[in-house]
């Protein structure tokens, strides 16, 4: 017994020493893993099979090779033809169950496009643009239509727009009915509708804000439309139609934007009136209303000058567009599926859709408020096109009791009350009259009764004393000790309109060797922004200046006065600036030429109606873009479109290069706007 105890104790001691003798053996080493999984889920089978005909079920079951999840299914999924009630989706491990909630149309091909919604559970790899197709009839329709949607104002690709086809061709149909076919654009603005029947369609695009496939928010939802209807036609009537593909051999190789057809010739080598000899179903646009447009879109910096953004050619380079996406273009067409004989299609570039937001027909006051006793603010839903007025209903005003100030967009108007007696009234009521659009787009005058009440904020006695002793502040257009541009005025902005200014208390001096040399100047109030004053003088390049104002030099309409003001700055050297010599040719109509910064902000604007050279001087050494607007109605601004009137938004183009300027350099730029 004693021997057994000793033996057991020995075993326990050995077991206790093992972790200390072999400490590394106790470490847990994570698996090295290997390369990251980048493979999206694959479909093992579906019930019923994809591309089934005579479909009568209400549920679809799809099994994948790994665990899946749905990501942004409401934004990514689209069913064609659309249904009033969206399907229900259930995920159970590797299985996806789709329950159709609406009745199906007889003898119709349905396409369920999941976009990038189906992803694997662990890495989030997306099964891109997976489509489940079935037909309630005997055949699967096999035509396709593809293209691109661009923002009409800046030619940038539009993501998430729904491109819709209607077999009813009246203009009002996008307002009243959901489309027969629909597809959503990707990040590059491209779209493709597959499994279409041979028919004539109205083409309409919508940025659907309420996801109901109806254009029911004019002025809020952006739209695009083709001027003409599209329909398939056989280029050679003596050739018979191709048979529909057998449902057991579905068209699985449609030329999606992400899967170009590598064996397709460059579309620029064909003529718009020449059709290839193979039998085909080709897109036909009725009553071509517009000539080919030149479209130059500025390429990102560093790209070759003949590259464009987005990646398609201008109509000057070619008069056609090809169905399949090649290295240089995207095709816009209806076509037979790729399991039929390969056929080339060449179509005009007018099938590019330009998205715009219509002007809201009705003008109205969106907001009115009274932030200060002497301030009345009125904000409109859109810029005022005609004059408007306010008439006091709660008091009898004296003459000149107010000053009016508009913002740059003319959609906000501020009245400053100059009479202290009137501004002391807490509760005011006004009759506001303005013009809005009535029936048949006629102008009619409307009137609104508005209450403008002021409630003083609660303040402590100390804050009230400080407010009573407040001074009039002044903000300058540049920072203290900053650089003043030679071609601009120095601007002073006050928080309230001025009642008076005393020029005897104001000086502008050039500083040389610590000596102040007075300079002549003018102080002029801005005609629109009435609280802004411009200091005009002949600036000396590279010169230090001091602006000085004694106390009381400026007084506001509310009785507040300025304290002493001292503001130092230095003008730029003349050789700091660059110049662009812009030679414009091919100008056959009224145009607006704009110089933009890299973010698209407008720096300069010129109005031209004939060939000329523009000298764009006093430019900072930076990068610029050039934009031209075809000002069709000659109102000196870009105008949006109107769907029911058949008016497209005014066309814009960009110079193909980003222009990088250097100090003390002139850059000559040629731009043919033909």
Share of the chain above pLDDT 90, in %: 63
Both 532 and 655 in one domain: the answer is no
CATH number at residue 524: 2.60.40.3710
For residue 7, is pLDDT > 80? no
Mean pLDDT, range 318-326, rounded to an integer: 29
3-state secondary structure labels for all residues of 320-357:
CEECCCCCCCCCCCEECCCCCCCCCCEECHHHCEEEEC
Domain end (from 357, 382, 404)? 357
Question: Regarding beta strands 162-166 and 181-184, do their DSSP bridges make them parallel or antiparallel, or are they unpaired?
Answer: antiparallel
Confidence band for 386, pLDDT divided at 50, 70 and 90:
confident
Answer whether residue 59 is part of any domain. Answer: yes
Residue 260: what are its φ and ψ, rounded to 5°? Answer: -65, 155
Domain end (from 549, 574, 599)? 574
Residues 135/153, Cβ–Cβ less than 8 Å? no
Both 414 and 549 in one domain: the answer is no
Share of the chain above pLDDT 70, in %: 75
Instruction: Supply the pLDDT for residue 351.
Output: 82
pLDDT digits (tens, 9 = 90+) for 153-185: 999 999 999 999 999 999 999 999 999 999 999
Confidence band for 296, pLDDT divided at 50, 70 and 90:
very low
Q: Positive or negative, the Cα torsion across 276, 277, 282, 286?
A: positive
Both 166 and 221 in one domain: the answer is yes
Q: How far is the C-alpha of 604 from the C-alpha of 610, rounded, in Å? A: 18
* Better pLDDT: 279 or 470: 470
Answer whether residue 458 is part of any domain. Answer: no
94: three-class secondary structure by DSSP:
coil
Q: How far is the C-alpha of 437 from the C-alpha of 592, rounded, in Å? A: 27
Mean pLDDT, range 271-276, rounded to an integer: 30
Both 109 and 206 in one domain: the answer is no
Mean pLDDT of the chain: 81
- Of 67-76, 150-159, 295-304, 516-525, the range with the lowest mean pLDDT is 295-304
Instruction: Supply the pLDDT for residue 463.
Output: 57
Both 164 and 211 in one domain: the answer is yes
For residue 509, is pLDDT > 80? yes
For residue 640, is pLDDT > 80? yes
Q: Positive or negative, the Cα torsion across 459, 463, 469, 473?
A: negative
Both 181 and 325 in one domain: the answer is yes
HSE-CB of 631 using CA atoms within 13 angstroms:
19
Angle at 357 between CA 353 and CA 363, to 5 degrees: 155
Both 177 and 90 in one domain: the answer is no
CATH number at residue 382: 2.60.40
Confidence band for 269, pLDDT divided at 50, 70 and 90:
very low
pLDDT digits (tens, 9 = 90+) for 175-226: 999 999 999 999 999 998 888 888 889 999 999 998 889 999 998 999 999 9
Number of C-beta neighbours around residue 538 at 10 A: 8
Find all residues with CB under 8 Å of 239, minimum gap 6, and list them. 279
272 CB-contact burial (10 Å; exposed 0-12 / middle 13-18 / buried 19+): middle
Mean pLDDT, range 361-381, rounded to an integer: 92
Confidence band for 18, pLDDT divided at 50, 70 and 90:
low
pLDDT digits (tens, 9 = 90+) for 218-253: 989 999 999 999 987 544 444 333 333 333 333 333
Both 176 and 289 in one domain: the answer is yes
Both 449 and 416 in one domain: the answer is yes
Q: How far is the C-alpha of 378 from the C-alpha of 369, rounded, in Å? A: 7
3-state secondary structure labels for all residues of 69-82:
EECCHHHHCEEECC
Instruction: Supply the pLDDT for residue 4.
Output: 52
Domain end (from 140, 155, 175)? 140
pLDDT digits (tens, 9 = 90+) for 116-154: 899 999 889 999 889 999 999 999 998 888 899 999 999
Structural domain of residue 500, as residue ranges?
468-574
Answer whether residue 344 is part of any domain. Answer: yes
Residue 596, strand partner residues: 602, 625
Both 503 and 565 in one domain: the answer is yes
Nearest CA to 367 out of 377, 358, 375 is that of 377
Answer whether residue 324 is part of any domain. Answer: yes
Instruction: Supply the pLDDT for residue 436.
Output: 84
- Of 92-101, 103-112, 268-277, 395-404, the range with the lowest mean pLDDT is 268-277
Answer whether residue 624 is part of any domain. Answer: yes
Altogether, the residues listed in the chain come to a count of: 674
Instruction: Supply the pLDDT for residue 443.
Output: 79
Mean pLDDT, range 64-75, rounded to an integer: 93
Instruction: Supply the pLDDT for residue 203.
Output: 96
Answer whether residue 6 is part of any domain. Answer: no
Both 163 and 238 in one domain: the answer is yes
Nearest CA to 569 out of 445, 634, 485 is that of 485
Residue 605, strand partner residues: 594
Residues 495/472, Cβ–Cβ less than 8 Å? yes
Q: How far is the C-alpha of 277 from the C-alpha of 238, rounded, in Å? A: 12
- Of 179-183, 282-286, 627-631, the range with the lowest mean pLDDT is 282-286
E strand or H helix at 2, and its extent?
helix 2-21
Both 377 and 293 in one domain: the answer is no
Long-range contacts of 396-405 (CB under 8 A, 24+ apart): 397/422, 398/422, 402/376, 403/497, 403/530, 403/557, 404/530, 405/497, 405/528, 405/529, 405/530, 405/531
Mean pLDDT, range 398-409, rounded to an integer: 91
Nearest CA to 280 out of 142, 182, 167, 183 is that of 142
CATH number at residue 98: 2.60.40.1220
Confidence band for 670, pLDDT divided at 50, 70 and 90:
very high
Confidence band for 439, pLDDT divided at 50, 70 and 90:
low
300 CB-contact burial (10 Å; exposed 0-12 / middle 13-18 / buried 19+): exposed
Instruction: Supply the pLDDT for residue 61.
Output: 97
Residue 315, strand partner residues: none
Structure tokens at 63: 């099994």
Q: What is the pTM of this model?
A: 0.72
Phi-psi region of 370 (alpha: psi -120 to 50; beta: other; left: phi over 0): beta
Mean pLDDT, range 282-286, rounded to an integer: 38
Answer whether residue 382 is part of any domain. Answer: yes
Q: Positive or negative, the Cα torsion across 614, 615, 617, 620?
A: positive
Answer whether residue 254 is part of any domain. Answer: no
Domain count for the chain: 5
């Amino acid at each position: 017994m004693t021997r057994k105890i000793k033996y057991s104790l020995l075993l326990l001691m050995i077991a206790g020493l093992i972790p200390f003798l072999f400490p590394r053996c106790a470490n847990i080493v994570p698996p090295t893993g290997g390369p990251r999984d980048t493979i999206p889920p694959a479909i093992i089978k579906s019930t019923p099979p994809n591309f089934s005909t005579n479909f009568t079920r209400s549920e679809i079951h799809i099994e994948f090779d790994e665990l899946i999840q749905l990501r942004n299914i409401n934004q990514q999924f689209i069913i064609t033809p659309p249904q009033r009630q969206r399907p229900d989706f259930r995920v159970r491990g590797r299985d996806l169950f789709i329950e159709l909630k609406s009745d199906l149309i007889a003898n119709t091909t349905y396409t369920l496009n999941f976009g990038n919604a189906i992803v694997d559970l662990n890495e989030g790899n997306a099964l891109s643009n997976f489509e489940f197709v079935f037909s309630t009839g005997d055949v699967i329709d096999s035509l396709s239509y593809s293209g691109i949607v661009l923002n009409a104002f800046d030619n940038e690709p539009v993501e998430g727009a729904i491109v819709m086809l209607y077999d009813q061709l009246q203009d009002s149909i996008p307002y009243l009915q959901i489309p027969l076919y629909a597809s959503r654009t990707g990040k590059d603005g491209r779209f493709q509708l597959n499994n279409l029947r041979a028919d004539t369609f109205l083409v309409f695009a919508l940025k659907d804000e309420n996801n109901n496939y109806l254009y029911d928010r004019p002025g809020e939802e952006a739209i695009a439309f083709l001027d003409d209807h599209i329909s398939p036609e056989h280029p050679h009537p003596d050739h018979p139609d191709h048979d529909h593909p057998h449902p057991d051999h579905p068209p699985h190789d449609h030329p999606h934007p992400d899967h170009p057809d590598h064996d397709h010739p460059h579309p620029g080598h064909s003529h718009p009136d020449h059709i290839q000899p193979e039998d085909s179903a080709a897109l036909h646009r009725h009553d071509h209303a517009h000539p080919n447009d030149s479209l130059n879109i500025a390429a990102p910096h560093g790209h070759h000058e003949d590259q464009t953004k987005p990646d398609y050619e201008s109509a000057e380079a070619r008069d056609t567009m090809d169905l399949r996406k090649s290295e240089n273009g995207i095709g816009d067409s209806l076509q037979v599926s790729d399991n039929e004989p390969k056929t080339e299609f060449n179509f005009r570039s007018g099938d590019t859709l330009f998205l715009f937001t219509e002007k809201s027909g009705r003008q109205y006051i969106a907001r009115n408020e009274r932030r200060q006793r002497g301030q009345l603010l009125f904000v409109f839903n859109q810029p005022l096109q005609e004059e408007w007025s306010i008439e006091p209903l709660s008091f009898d005003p004296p003459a000149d009791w107010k000053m009016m100030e508009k913002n740059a967009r003319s959609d906000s108007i501020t009245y400053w009350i100059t009479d202290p007696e009137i501004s002391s009234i807490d509760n005011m009521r006004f009759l506001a009259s303005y013009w809005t659009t009535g029936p048949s787009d006629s102008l009619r005058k409307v009137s609104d009764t508005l209450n403008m009440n002021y409630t003083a904020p609660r303040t402590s006695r100390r804050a009230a004393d400080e407010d009573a002793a407040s001074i009039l502040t002044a903000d300058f257009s540049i920072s203290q000790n900053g650089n003043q541009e030679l071609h601009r005025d120095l601007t002073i902005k006050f928080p309230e309109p001025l009642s008076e200014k005393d020029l005897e208390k104001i000086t502008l001096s050039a500083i040389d060797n610590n000596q102040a040399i007075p300079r002549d100047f003018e102080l002029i109030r801005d005609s629109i922004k009435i609280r802004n004053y411009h200091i005009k003088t002949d600036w000396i390049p590279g010169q230090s200046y001091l602006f000085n104002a004694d106390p009381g030099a400026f007084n506001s309409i509310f009785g507040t006065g300025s304290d002493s003001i001292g503001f130092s700055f230095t003008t730029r050297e003349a050789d700091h600036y660059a110049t662009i010599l812009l030679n414009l040719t091919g100008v056959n109509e009224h145009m607006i030429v704009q110089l933009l910064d890299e973010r698209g902000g407008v720096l300069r604007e010129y109005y031209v109606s004939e060939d000329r050279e523009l000298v764009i001087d006093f430019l900072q050494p930076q990068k610029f873009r050039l934009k031209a607007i075809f000002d069709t109605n000659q109102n000196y601004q870009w105008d949006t479109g109107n769907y029911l009137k058949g008016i497209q938004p005014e066309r814009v183009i960009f110079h193909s290069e980003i222009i990088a300027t250097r100090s003390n350099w002139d850059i000559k730029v040629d731009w043919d706007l033909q």
